[in-house]
Amino acid sequence: MSSTEPVLHAPVFIVGHPRSGTSLLAAMLGRNPEVLALPETHFFNEVRYALAPHYSKGPDAVASRLQATRMRHLPLEHVAVRDALAGAEMSPKGVFDAILIAMLTQSGRHRIVEKTPVHIRHIDDILAMWPDAHVIWIVRDGRAAISSLRKLDWASKDLSTLARQWTRNMRFAISAHDSNPAQVTRVEYEDLISRPEDVLLHVCRRIELRYDRVMLDHNQPTQTVSSFEDEWKANVGSPMIASRASAWKEELRPDEIIEIEAIIGPLLVNLGYLASRPGSLRALLEGIRERAVNSALGLRVQMVLYDFVAARRFAPSGANQANTKRR
């Protein structure tokens, strides 16, 4: 890329456990006339592995492979993708930069907001690729996120599995936040739906974006939700209802709450959602397990294993796609 071509400046990445309000926040930022907020790209957890064998084959091969990934849902025609990649470096950063810059140029806007919840496990990769990037980590009470997530046909229905997934994602985010406090901003979902203007003002200050009240207008359309996601993201364009934050108390049975809290209780306390840790043998054993699995070493091991599995799962062919129901 020559020095006269556009450069991706201070991209913003929104991450969080699924069903924690990432789509809502992305839509609100996407209403700002300076911002282009994208549908989920899944670049770091899927797409970069799918593209790896194709860089040596050239831009056309990479463009064709992109059409079999989540990034086919981006608002950019295939011919525009091919044109964007024609002069790009054939590397993960080169390709992602080229696509994002092409969409910015097409939109006439100046800042990119990318939202893929599971990029919560890849914050270090994001900041390594773009040293001027900013990550917004949105947190929601784990009991609420789990209650919402298990209603979806592509999610596990096992509460223990869902609870352990939540603790893992929170540990990745906490680690990244502690290591990069200037570039990782934590936002609470409960604050976003009860005090949206205050939260948006704070976020805009952190990412150096001009605040615009149009971000509060839910009637303004955005491009943050792909058509195949409409079923489970229908509320993104609806008025915010603060009572949604506590709906889990009616949706979960008392025994289910006890089961969930036994696993995520320590982190609920850490994040300010629970006054004290549950006192039971199950909670004690789960706490020991969680500290071992999600220690600094444990998180590194998880990422090494993920790299190994993902490279074989997504790279061989376009047919190897995870979560086909979500495509």
> What average pLDDT is seen over the chain?
89
Mean local confidence (pLDDT), 3-8: 60
- Is the pLDDT score of 5 beyond 60? no
DSSP helix/strand/coil, 165: helix
Can you give the pLDDT at residue 292? 92
CA 6 to chain centre: 25
Q: Is residue 51 within 8 Å of residue 304, measured between CB atoms?
A: no
Over the stretch 35-69, which tens digit does the pLDDT of each residue have?
999 989 999 999 999 999 999 999 999 999 999 99
H/E element, 184: strand 184-188
Tell which residue, 148, 182, 165, has the closest CA to residue 264: 165
pLDDT of residue 240: 64
Q: Is 42 left (phi over 0), alpha (psi -120 to 50) or beta?
A: left
Q: Are 88 and 98 in contact (CB under 8 A)?
A: yes
Q: What's the pLDDT band for 319 if we cut at 50, 70, 90?
A: very low
Asked if residue 150 has pLDDT above 60, the reply is: yes
> Which amino acid would we find at residue 208?
E
The C-alpha atoms of residue 310 and residue 303 are separated, in whole angstroms, by 10
Q: Where are the alpha helices (DSSP H) in the chain?
A: 22-30, 48-51, 59-66, 78-86, 92-107, 123-129, 142-149, 159-179, 189-194, 196-207, 248-251, 254-270, 281-293, 296-314
In this predicted structure, what is the pLDDT of residue 176? 96
- Write down the domain spans for the chain: 12-316
Report pLDDT for 239. Answer: 65
The predicted model gives 75-84 an average pLDDT of 90
User: What mean pLDDT comes out for the span 27-34?
Assistant: 94
pLDDT per position as a tens digit, 103-118:
999 998 999 999 999 9
Would you say 173 and 14 are in contact if contact means Cβ atoms under 8 Å apart?
A: no
Residue 179 has pLDDT above 70, yes or no: yes
For the cut 60, the answer to whether the pLDDT of residue 310 exceeds it is yes
**What are the backbone angles phi and psi of residue 38, rounded to the nearest 5°?**
-100, 160
Residues present in the chain in total? 327
Confidence of residue 242 (pLDDT cuts 50, 70, 90): confident
pLDDT tens-digit map of 195-239: 999 999 999 999 999 999 999 998 877 766 555 454 545 566 666
Percent of all residues in the chain with a pLDDT value above 70, rounded to a whole number: 89
Question: Is the pLDDT score of 321 beyond 50?
Answer: no
Give the per-residue pLDDT at 137.
Answer: 98
What are the percentages of helix, strand and coil residues in the chain, rounded to 5?
Answer: 60, 5, 35
Task: Report the pLDDT value the prediction gives residue 244, as an integer from 0 to 100.
Answer: 78
Mean pLDDT (whole number) for 274-289? 90
Where does the pLDDT of residue 3 fall: very low under 50, low under 70, confident under 90, or very high at 90 and above? Answer: very low
For 12-316, give the CATH class: alpha beta
Give the model's confidence band at 87: pLDDT under 50 very low, under 70 low, under 90 confident, else very high. confident
| pLDDT band at 317; cut points 50, 70, 90 | low
pLDDT at 327: 43
